[in-house]
Structure 1
Amino acid sequence: MIKVLFFAKLREQVGRSEIELPALDSGSNVAALLDAVVAEIPEAEPVLRQGNILAAINQEMAPLSAIVADGDEVAFFPPVTGG
Structure 2
Amino acid sequence: MFPEETASILTKTVLVPTSGIFKDDNPKHELNADTEAFCNALNCIQNLSSAGDNTRKVLRDCENLIDSLVYYIRRTVDDKNADDK
TM-score (norm 1): 0.25
Report which of the two structures shows the higher radius of gyration computed on alpha carbons.
2
Tell me the TM-score normalised to structure 2 length. Answer: 0.25
Larger RCO: Structure 1 or Structure 2 (Cα < 8 Å, ≥ 6 residues apart)? 1
